[in-house]
């Protein structure tokens, strides 16, 4: 089974702190994604990566950056956390070359910024 | 741009009753369609998917969905709901720009005993 893990289930940070959210997948997937989930808005794509050191902006990249130094790990960085970044963050991965486009999700990190 | 509409934000059904969750999409070509379920505090789990062939697809946990191209719909159904089905359900369509999925806003299902 594909396993996607996220470093924390719950995180509380203060305004202005630098925050790192880590995601690791164990199935050698090329593609990895970071989403933000808010009530009534569904999942919105922040960034995605289709290869090591490659990244693409999603629909809401402002205030976020990402890092992918190894194939299995994709990090989301909040350079200076703000209260409007309080949300559930979901990481996903999928392989290239399989035309089903199914994504596999981690359990999520619920981030609260105070 | 592609889009997904889930018209019902909340749905409440009695245990044992049938269920239908609606999903309408906008997509320029033949879509790949998905239903995911999210139990409280958890990530998303794939229930079923459609990308070709039979328009009625079966998934896990007794769910099924029917692709209707003429109506741009992919509604999720279950004949008899169990209390453990209480969760949030997301419909998704893709691919967008070769790699991405577009998700609907979700439908929260409550099951009353």
Q: What is the pLDDT of residues A65-82, one digit of tens each?
A: 999 999 999 999 999 999
- B27: confidence class by pLDDT, cuts 50, 70, 90: confident
What is the SS3 string spanning chain B? CCEEECCCCEEEEECCCCEEECCEEECCCCCEEEEEEECCCCCCEEEEEECCCCCEEECHHHCEEEEEHHHCEEEEEECCCCHHHCEEEEEEEEEECCCEEEECCCEEEEEEC
CB contact A41 to B (< 8 Å):
yes
Q: What is the pLDDT of residue B93?
A: 93
Can you name the residues that pair with B32 across neighbouring β-strands? Answer: B94
pLDDT at B89: 98
**Banded pLDDT at A98 (limits 50, 70, 90):** low
Q: Which residues of A touch B94 (CB under 8 A)?
A: 101
CB contacts < 8 A (A, B)? 55
Summarised one tens digit per residue, pLDDT across range A16-68 is: 999 999 999 999 999 999 999 998 899 999 999 999 999 999 999 999 999 99
A43 and B90 within 8 Å at the Cβ level: the answer is: yes
Asked if B8 and B24 touch (Cβ cutoff 8 Å), the reply is no
Q: Chain A: nearest CA to B86, how far in angstroms?
A: 16
- The pLDDT score that the predictor gives to residue B99 is 78
């Amino acid at each position: 089974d594909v396993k996607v893990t996220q470093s924390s289930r719950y995180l509380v940070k203060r305004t202005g702190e630098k925050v790192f959210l880590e995601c690791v997948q164990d199935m050698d997937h090329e593609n990895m994604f970071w989403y933000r989930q808010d009530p009534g808005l569904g999942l919105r794509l922040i960034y995605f990566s289709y290869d090591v050191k490659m990244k693409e902006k999603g629909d809401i990249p402002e205030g976020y950056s990402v890092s992918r130094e190894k194939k299995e790990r994709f990090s989301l960085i909040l350079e200076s956390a703000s209260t409007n970044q309080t949300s559930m963050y979901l990481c996903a991965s999928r392989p290239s070359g399989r035309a089903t486009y199914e994504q596999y999700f981690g359990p999520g990190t619920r981030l609260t910024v105070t | 741009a592609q889009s997904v509409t889930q018209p019902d934000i909340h749905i409440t059904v009695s245990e044992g009753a049938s269920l239908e969750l609606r999903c309408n999409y906008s997509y320029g070509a033949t879509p790949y369609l998905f239903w995911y379920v999210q139990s409280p505090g958890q990530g998303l789990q794939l229930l079923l998917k459609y990308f070709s062939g039979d328009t009625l697809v079966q998934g896990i946990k007794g769910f099924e969905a029917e692709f209707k191209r003429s109506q741009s719909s992919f509604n999720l159904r279950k004949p008899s709901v169990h209390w453990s089905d209480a969760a949030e359900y997301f419909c998704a369509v893709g691919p967008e720009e070769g790699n991405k999925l577009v998700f609907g806003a979700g439908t929260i299902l409550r099951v009353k005993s």
